[in-house]
Structure 1
């Protein structure tokens, strides 16, 4: 009814899919065919027009999503939404996503710059029809430029950096509950004063020891609290991130003798999807797969020679520093003196109110991201590899690679979000390469904020050489897999970080891949839907030893399916125990221990994804000491309804988080769900819940699934939890959602013959002659 009303009031606003157009910005003719799911199949005469075509199609289908993405990156959401979005813009201006992107443009190669310019021109041309959201909120679409693509990549890097928010969580525990509490809830620490260790772990696993804490607690106080307050609106517009799965199976383990590659990135449940399916073809290049909205690059797909897919690598590439700012707010302390800072005054336009001026202070380490307060000299600065001017290629140019060697060459320059890149090619090779710049620290391991005034803190000018990043090619076991777990094992290789996610998903994948030699596309897609929680195998003996264990749990098989009553009892027991452990060790800061976001950049901090393994470790050594708590948690978890009924899934439009009448109306018009949902944070088919709110809708899901039949590409499948279009009146707004729920997918035409056969609509674009 609400969507019908939307159409009656504002029209259907469907984009043009057939006919001809003459547009500025094109070099030659461009043919855009659409298949029955609205997936564009682009044929271009020039590589530059390929990028234009992707931008044009995304502009047609995702106009408002693109608007929000680049306004978040630029810090101009308040111009569209009003005063409620001022904190979002303040943060974005202080961090400087767009400012950094403009500086980086001067360093990128000309071919990439041409593609980014063409993509932006395509976006601007494609957004000729004003989307429904703009009609509801008012305002005009702001034009795109090449820097927006880089800025959005930096926002994603910020969200997927799994350490800096954990640094603040640790600092909160340290300042609120003391060093013993931090030692108890975080096994990565040995509290022995300031660390003087090498920035790399010792080569010998036996010689490795955990990093130490610099006790900065008394210095931060209000700066941390105000930083949290200023960021509370960011999630509504930027969204959150979590993890992903990918794996590659060698020909020796498949039914066909061809490699198989699978990928399912986990992001917040948002509509329209984070991803956009597309295929492109030029005389010298072709690619098919899933692109992230906001750029002309396929991040999970193939080019006819190689296939690839990504998971977050979680390299610790950000550090926080406590800065002492002088009274004039122009310098910060360094050693016994002061260092000059770059000072910028940013003017933020606000809809319905006066403009706001944000004074930005950029220290030699990086921008001050906390408010500079009149009543305290302490502020917090952010040092990040993705804010530093550097050449970038990597995922932007990955589709040009034809083999393992050329892929590694393209990936040498990727100073953005670190990724685990799974690889397979038509020769039968499979591989894994971690990509992303990793800093070398002069002191410590970046697990807590350091003192900016300390001359011995900070990073060396050169980071870890690309050659030292872990990688494997065609291992003898016949498979590779990553799931945001530690890669390689602790104590082996260079130090890349400590804030990786529990390895339960990785374990389940590894056990499955090792178990058979007849994998095919169907069985691989079934594995992506697996809901077995490996943590239950470790926790079962402790639970079954308790009194009055409900029969649903006593006979439970560990599969957290939507129709399982045992899963309900287990999930409620587990989250209750995680809360109880945190409350005992850190009574003042326990909420942050179990995932409360100190910053609200995401709905959680990454520490929440290590709580299960922490609980397992406690019970293995201290089960008797926790028996009473386990028994109480079991009584609390007594619930008779299936897991999918008590915890459901709602895929939300970002404007629904605005609250008030607008948020309510947007939810009615744009959301999908609620629908029953199984899974948890530890299963392959992730649908994570927070210990703070275990019955709230799932916070992260498989935002896209892909399975590649390498060499027989026509058998490959993709799916989104929604559809290609962001227009709720389009048939392609949610037509892929039932397939996503069932674990099915759709092909993407790749050859020119396949494109022509699959086409149900064709639009021809030609260059507009100069006036």
Structure 2
């Protein structure tokens, strides 16, 4: 027995020693890819030494003798800290994820190959101006210099993920940077999904109810349209959707997450500082690391500093010494779904304007890890690439004998958006910045501007011209062979909305409806916000003049105008009513909840229970009123629509009919549904939070989910690479934290401001910014999440162009010298 025990001890000890040894070995190889920020390296591709000074937050300040050398330095710095992220972005847009991940990502690759964005990016290289092309080449050379250093110095394959998904890294090309910009356009549009959903819903409810569930934003409405069934006969209602299961690697956003942002600016008349102010916080899906990388470039036209995206050699949101710019999604309707009739006698042809025409075709081979390669046939019509019916639920709205083609401005093979971004960094005032936007194609954005004296907002991006006789005005899929449904070109840049130095002294955008023009100059029927803008307007008007701190206060504001409004309706017949009830009963839980909400000011504070009670109640109410009318389609409405619910409670155009449950004999009122929904919400809170209603915290449910897109779901590794933070805010607050909307944890914060910046041109070096995680993409780096806690607390770091401040507490200075100088 003793011998057996002794051998058991020996085996256990050996296993522990082996496990520790393997862990130490894995740690060693993983840490090999941590860059040395204090190094002097000889590289080819620069004319003079380049200095990369990393300040105490690890923000690189890049100095060189020429702009090309500075862009080289940016490429080198991006690759040092975010090589894995850059290569993943490139693989995604190329449709080459399956080479690493096997069949899991085959559907994603298929979508990207059919869009063929990378081919369009490659063609667009020749469309760039000379300075932009030189910058793209210099940036690519900088990335490749770091790749050479990784290979020659055996630096852990460049990133720890490379040990798990080892595959050769191709040299960086100028087309790669343009392609990533096109990939961002894909993440910021939802026009396709809006069209499909509107068509599907119109097949199961009448037009009056369609205006309820998919309402136009307040303002002048659109003339009534025929139903989708009247335009496109032969499509059956309630066909099961064919959407792929959500994958964090999928760049095409779900409808509820197709871009958002806030930006506003005040001129000198509305600023206490005597000059202008600008604030911007663009919203994207939360990831670890963040998509944003803070950087400063010392260019010949002056320094610029702000948020960059690894792989793209421009400061997309930021400032120079004399100009600040911020971006918000413009919601331009820049996509259309065309129903193309296939020749029944020859499937290689489709109906064109003058008869049958041949599809343009090309075969694409998708290499799949551990499986045979897959060949797909790519097809195009004159309207755009053909998408199969098993993507985006397109099969549910496609009549027999037809296929769907997608028209989209980002498919342009002469896309000069990169040149526009380069010109914007060189602009010195509002007028020059607006002129730079003329070159921008996609994604469509509202750019908020502030120079030393003036402010402005300009919509940049191509706006398709539709015929005034278009059958659906671009709101439904329509037949592509009818000339009135086809695009008639692109509107002149002068037609894009523009607001320069308005009389009120303030411009801003929260993705709200900003202009009311009749179709076809309407810009869009589907805007991104009806709620945050109301709170923003009140905060801007509450002060005669603003300061940097008041702009920060507005950026971090977590009061929900939506909650204040809807609670007055939902609780109208419930406040301070009901008989006394013993503790633990549903009646008592309801009374406690109502007492809390009655005294609440609508602040979605992470430490309070009221935001969770409200959010769960409103969610349960909406689910109850749409379930019986929409059937399976109810699952598409994952988030609260405040305009829809207000229409119901105010009984606009008879909308209160939604509260009556069709399948029941009694006629339910909205008060009945509100009471039932509250009880349902309180049961859900008790079951999921495990606490009394008054003891729950919004922040526990509204946790920010900065997940690693690849390793985030892996046991043990997920604990290392994911970042979790309790957060305030919600779907409709200025401090926006878009909730997941589905699953067992529907209120997790998954889409928020990964970057915040506030620029003060009275004292530019007092400007501040922050990103949501950290500068490094290496999970073992202390800079992987060094900015995350500051972001969570609503704090910022200095945004200075002063080189002495950057050097004063630098964590490292990397010096790149030309190979010729080192010899």
Q: Normalising by structure 2, what TM-score? A: 0.84
Q: Deviations over 1:250-270 (max 9, x none)?
A: 223333222111011111110
Gaps of 5+ in 1: 190-204, 596-607
Find the aligned partners of 2:672 and 2:421 in 1 and give their Cα distance: 51
* 1:417 paired to 2:416: no
* 1:122 paired to 2:138: no
Partner of 1:473: 500
* 1:586 paired to 2:630: yes
**Cα gap change, 1:509/1:724 in structure 2, threshold over 3 Å: closer, same or farther?**
same
The alpha-carbon deviation at position 532 of structure 1 amounts to: 0.5
SS at match of 2:476: coil
Given that 2:234 and 2:400 are in contact with CA atoms closer than 8 Å, whether structure 1 keeps it comes out as no
The alpha-carbon deviation at position 751 of structure 1 amounts to: 3.2
* 1:451 paired to 2:479: yes
Q: Normalising by structure 1, what TM-score? A: 0.89
**Cα gap change, 1:562/1:490 in structure 2, threshold over 3 Å: closer, same or farther?**
farther
Find the aligned partners of 2:619 and 2:499 in 1 and give their Cα distance: 36
| Greater mean alpha carbon deviation, residues 303-312 or residues 393-402 | 393-402
Match of 2:738 among 666, 688, 692: 688
Partner of 1:196: none
Given that 2:729 and 2:736 are in contact with CA atoms closer than 8 Å, whether structure 1 keeps it comes out as yes
The alpha-carbon deviation at position 113 of structure 1 amounts to: 1.5
Partner of 2:606: 562
**Cα gap change, 1:207/1:441 in structure 2, threshold over 3 Å: closer, same or farther?**
same
* 1:438 paired to 2:473: no
Q: Deviations over 1:418-451 (max 9, x none)?
A: 111111111x211111111100112142111111
Partner of 1:200: none
Which aligned pairs between 1:50-69 and structure 2 lie closer than 5 A?
50-69=70-89
Rg larger in structure: 2
Find the aligned partners of 1:336 and 1:226 in 2 and give their Cα distance: 34
Match of 1:643 among 668, 686, 698: 698
Partner of 1:497: 524
Given that 1:116 and 1:149 are in contact with CA atoms closer than 8 Å, whether structure 2 keeps it comes out as yes
Which aligned pairs between 1:534-549 and structure 2 lie closer than 5 A?
534-547=561-574, 549=591
Match of 2:381 among 363, 371, 378: 363
| Greater mean alpha carbon deviation, residues 3-12 or residues 534-543 | 3-12
**Cα gap change, 1:753/1:172 in structure 2, threshold over 3 Å: closer, same or farther?**
same
RMSD of aligned C-alpha atoms?
Answer: 2.9
Which aligned pairs between 1:189-338 and structure 2 lie closer than 5 A?
209-215=223-229, 228-229=243-244, 232-233=246-247, 235-236=249-250, 241-326=258-343, 329-335=347-353, 337-338=355-356
Match of 1:185 among 213, 220, 223: 213
Match of 1:14 among 26, 34, 55: 34
Given that 2:340 and 2:351 are in contact with CA atoms closer than 8 Å, whether structure 1 keeps it comes out as yes
Partner of 2:535: 508
**Cα gap change, 1:154/1:227 in structure 2, threshold over 3 Å: closer, same or farther?**
farther
* 1:740 paired to 2:791: yes
Aligned positions, number: 734
SS at match of 2:114: helix
Match of 1:679 among 729, 741, 744: 729
Partner of 2:584: none
The alpha-carbon deviation at position 508 of structure 1 amounts to: 0.9
Match of 2:757 among 678, 682, 706: 706
Greater RCO, 1 or 2 (C-alpha within 8 Å, sep 6+): 1
Partner of 1:85: 105
Given that 1:177 and 1:589 are in contact with CA atoms closer than 8 Å, whether structure 2 keeps it comes out as no
The alpha-carbon deviation at position 221 of structure 1 amounts to: 7.0
| Greater mean alpha carbon deviation, residues 125-134 or residues 754-763 | 754-763
The alpha-carbon deviation at position 178 of structure 1 amounts to: 6.2
| Greater mean alpha carbon deviation, residues 334-343 or residues 142-151 | 334-343
**Cα gap change, 1:705/1:144 in structure 2, threshold over 3 Å: closer, same or farther?**
same
Given that 1:579 and 1:691 are in contact with CA atoms closer than 8 Å, whether structure 2 keeps it comes out as no
* 1:343 paired to 2:361: yes
Find the aligned partners of 1:725 and 1:264 in 2 and give their Cα distance: 20
Partner of 1:602: none
SS at match of 1:319: strand
Partner of 1:131: 159
Find the aligned partners of 1:86 and 1:567 in 2 and give their Cα distance: 40
**Cα gap change, 1:331/1:3 in structure 2, threshold over 3 Å: closer, same or farther?**
farther
Q: Deviations over 1:344-380 (max 9, x none)?
A: 1111112222221111001100001225999964322
Partner of 2:60: 40
Given that 1:73 and 1:97 are in contact with CA atoms closer than 8 Å, whether structure 2 keeps it comes out as yes
The alpha-carbon deviation at position 134 of structure 1 amounts to: 1.0
Q: Deviations over 1:708-743 (max 9, x none)?
A: 111422101111111000011111111101110111
Find the aligned partners of 2:236 and 2:386 in 1 and give their Cα distance: 16
**Cα gap change, 1:439/1:492 in structure 2, threshold over 3 Å: closer, same or farther?**
closer
**Cα gap change, 1:701/1:332 in structure 2, threshold over 3 Å: closer, same or farther?**
same
Find the aligned partners of 1:4 and 1:283 in 2 and give their Cα distance: 47
Find the aligned partners of 2:241 and 2:670 in 1 and give their Cα distance: 36
SS at match of 2:135: helix
Q: Deviations over 1:504-525 (max 9, x none)?
A: 1111111101111343222322
SS at match of 1:730: coil
Find the aligned partners of 2:251 and 2:409 in 1 and give their Cα distance: 23
